[in-house]
Amino acid sequence: MGMFSQLAQGVDWSSMGQMILRIAAVLLCLVIHEVSHGLAAYHLGDPTAKQSHRLSLNPLRHLDPFGLIMMIAVGFGWAKPVPVDPRYFKKPKQGMAITALAGPASNFVLAYVSTIIYSMLFAVAQVKGESTGLSLALTFFSLLISLNIGLGIFNLIPFPPLDGSKVLAMFLPDRWYGRWMQLERYGMIVLMAALWFGLLDGFLMAARNLVLNAMLNGANFAYLGMLSLLTR
């Protein structure tokens, strides 16, 4: 028992707890993002994602190992692309754009809902004091806010294979569309290099801060409402 006791005392449980919360938040962000792609395609008539079991909430069906590591390490990353067959869409280019937008849109919705919950919990902490459980909840929702905003913004970059490229492709002439989509096989290499050398850091951080401030302002009603309720 003495050896195990010493081992337990040597573990930084606080850091481990933070990492567990971060991984849980990352998995939720990525799964919601990918399932939203699949659901959008399915409602537009494409059953490919459903047939490939990509409408599942099981994280193992969606994870890309390197993309997961990037999400955990820097807050920007990706999952395995959901298979989509545009031949099922009545308007293929528009269908691809809507399917692509569904992922980032789901992240922004989840980020805003998390911001509202965080604001209410923050008001509780100010009035009642911060317990261990409340502290963990605040940490988890702050991670959800930051990671969802980061994932949404990163995927809206109009460069293949990110979602923003498919939105941009909707406005391209048909003769350019095929060539643009072919860039997907090389685009991720370029993006990984850009992230590795920090070429996108300035833009991504500025965009994330802009969206974060907008969401905090938009959720201020929840903070004030909870504060008013608790101080009556």
Active site residue 34: yes
Block residue for tokens 């399915």: 42
Sign of the dihedral defined by the CA atoms of residues 176, 179, 184, 189, in that order: negative
Active-site option among 27, 30, 31, 34:
34
CA–CA dist 106, 103 (Å, integer): 5
The vertex-182 CA angle with 181 and 187, nearest 5°, equals: 90
Greatest extent of the chain over all pairs of C-alpha atoms, in Å: 72
CA–CA dist 119, 222 (Å, integer): 6
CA–CA dist 215, 208 (Å, integer): 11
Q: Which helix (H) or strand (E) holds 2?
A: helix 2-10
Where in the sequence numbering do the catalytic residues fall?
34
